[in-house]
Chain A
Amino acid sequence: MPSLQSLRRKIAAFKNTQKITKAMKMVAAAKLKRSQDRILAARPYAHKMRGVLSNLSQRVNRTSHPLLQKREGKKIEILVVTSDRGLCGGFNGNIVRKSSEFVRQCEAQGLSVNLSLIGRKGRDYFRRRSWPIRQEWTGIFDKLTFEHAIDIGGDLTENFVKGTFDELYVVYNEFKSAIQQRVIVEKLFPIDAAAEFGAAPTATEQSAVGGSYLYEPDEGELLNVLVPKHFQIQAYRILLESAAAEHGARMAAMDGATRNAGQLIKKVTLYYNKTRQAAITKELMDIVGGAEALK
C-alpha cells in the first residue's frame, strides 16, 4: 500500500499537469479563433481562383504557358503539411500515416517520389525514413504571413517549370470545425479541370467553352500574372487551413487531457481518503484495545 505522503504528492502532480493542459487549451482556443477567422475569410477568394483556373485550363492551349503543361506523371512530389509543435492529438500522426501510405502507393506503381515538408513534426519523422526530401520549411506557423505563401508558391512553380516533378500532391489537414479536421490529399500540379470544387460549368457554359473567349489584356500576358498568383493563393489557403486545424486539434486534445487529469485526481483522492480513514480506524482500534487491556 502506498504511503499517504506519496499519494498526496501524486495528487499534487496531477493537479499541476491539469493546470498546464488547461492553460494550453485556453491558448489554443484563443489562437483558434484568430486562425479560424483568417481561413474562413480567405476561402472564398481561393476557391473562386481555383474555379477560374480550372475553367481556364480546359480552354486554353496547355502548351501556351509553362505552368499549365501536362506532362506524363513520372516524377511525383508530395508536399506534407504538419505542425511545428506537438501535443495536438492525432493531428500529425494522421498526416504522416496518410502520406506514407500514399508514397508507398506511388512507389508500387513504379513512380519516383520526392517529399517536400512543411512543419517540424513531419520533418522529424521523414528524416528517419529513407525517402528523399527535396525541400523543407519549418517554424513558419508561429507568424504566418502571405510572404511565406509567396516563398513556397514560388519554389513550387519554379521547380515544376524546371521539371523537378511532373505532379504535385499536397497532404494537409483541412479545418472542418473547431473539433474536426479532415486529412486531404489534393493535386496542385498540374491544374486539372476538376468539377468537384463547385465551379462546375453548367451545360450552357460548357457549350460556350469551345467558342470564343475574350481576354483583356491578351491571353499570354494575363496567364503570366494569373497562374503564379493562383499557386501563391492556394499555398496560402493550405497553410491557413493547417494552422486553424492545428489549433482546433490542440484545443480538443488538451480538453481531453484536462478531463482525464480531473478523473485521475478524483480517483486518487478517493483512494487517499479511504487509506487515511483506514489508518485512523486502525489507530483507534489500537487505543481502544490498549484501554481494554488495562481494565
Chain B
Amino acid sequence: MAGKILLEVVTPEKMLLSQEVDEVIAPGSEGEFGVLPGHCHLLSSLRIGELRYKAQDAWRYMSILWGYAEVTPSKVTVMAEIAEKAEDIDVGRAQQAVEKAEQRLQAGGLPSEVKEAQISLEKARLRKRIADRAKKSGHA
C-alpha cells in the first residue's frame, strides 16, 4: 500500500506488533530517528528509549530496551530484547520501580553496582513516562 509502512516488533518472548503505520520514530543508539514511507535502507542498533508510531492519526507508544531495527522503504523490523506496549505497562509498578532504583542509586556501592542502578533507573523512568503518556492520550 502506498504511503504506509509495515511495522513489526518482535522480542524473544513473542511477536508484539505487526501493523501498517504512517510514521515511526525509534530510539537509535546514536539518536532518535524518524521513518516515513520510502525511507532508505538502514540498520541500526537501539538503546533504551521509546518507540512511537502513528496509525490512524493517533500516536502510540512503546518502550524498547536495546535491540536492532532494520528499515527498508516499505518495512520496519524491530528486534528488541525487551519491549512493552504503553497500554500493557502497570503505572503503579513502574512508579515503584523508579523509587526502588533511585534508592539503590543513593545507596551507592561498587562502580558496577552504580552503573546497574543507573540503567535500571533509566528503564524504570522510561516505562513510567510512557505509561503516563498513554494514559493522557486516552487509550490506556
Q: List A residues at the B interface (Cβ < 8 Å).
A: 41-42, 44-45, 48-49, 51-52, 55-56, 146, 201-202, 204-205, 208-209, 211-217, 222, 225-226, 233, 236
Flag if A52 contacts B45 (CB, 8 Å): no
Q: Closest A-chain residue to B44, C-beta based?
A: A216
B-chain residues with CB within 8 Å of residue A217 when the two chains form the complex: 29-30, 45
Chain-A contact segment, one of B9-17, B53-61, B101-109:
B9-17
CA distance A222 to B43 in the complex (A): 8
- Contact yes or no, B14 A56, CB < 8 A: no
Contacts of B44 in A (CB 8 A): 214-216, 222
A-B contact pairs, 6 of them (CB 8 A): A41-B12, A49-B79, A208-B40, A214-B43, A217-B29, A217-B30
Q: Which of B12, B68, B79 contacts A42 (CB 8 A)?
A: B12
Smallest beta-carbon distance B80→chain A, Å: 9
Q: How far is the CA of A213 from the CA of B13 in the complex (A)?
A: 29
- Chain A residues near B45: list those with CB within 8 A: 216-217, 222, 225-226
List of A residues within 8 angstroms of B42 by Cβ: 213-216
Chain B nearest CB, measured from A195 CB (Å):
15
> Known: A52-B70, A213-B43, A217-B45. Contact between A44 and B30, CB under 8 A?
no
- Chain B 69-85 interface mask (CB, 8 Å, partner A; 1/0): 01011100101000000
| Size of B's binding interface in residues, CB under 8 A | 24
Whole-angstrom CA separation of A208 from B73 in the bound complex: 9
A209→B41 CA distance, assembly (Å): 8
Which residue of A44, A201, A214, A216 contacts B14 across the interface (Cβ within 8 Å)? A44
- Interface of chain A, main secondary structure: helix
Q: Which 8 A-B pairs have the closest CB atoms?
A: A216-B44, A44-B15, A214-B42, A213-B41, A45-B10, A41-B14, A44-B10, A52-B70
CB <8 Å contact, A41 and B28: no
Question: Are B10 and A48 in contact, with the CB atoms below 8 A?
Answer: yes
User: Per a CB cutoff under 8 Å, which of A55, A146, A225 touches B70?
Assistant: A55
Majority SS of interface residues in chain B?
A: strand
Contact across chains for A208 and B79 when beta carbons are under 8 A apart:
no
Contacts of B72 in A (CB 8 A): 201, 205, 208
> How far is A222 from B67 in the complex, measured between Cα atoms in Å?
11
Contact B12 A212 (CB under 8 A): no
Separation in Å of the A231 CB from the closest CB of chain B? 14
Q: Does B132 interact with chain A (Cβ within 8 Å)?
A: no
Q: Taking CB as reference atom, which chain A residue is nearest B14?
A: A41
CA distance in complex: A72, B14 (Å): 37
Is residue B87 within 8 Å, beta carbon to beta carbon, of the partner chain?
A: no
- Is B122 an interface residue when CB atoms closer than 8 A count as contact? no
* Complex Cα spacing A48 to B10, Å: 8
Nearest chain B CB to A64 CB, angstrom units: 14
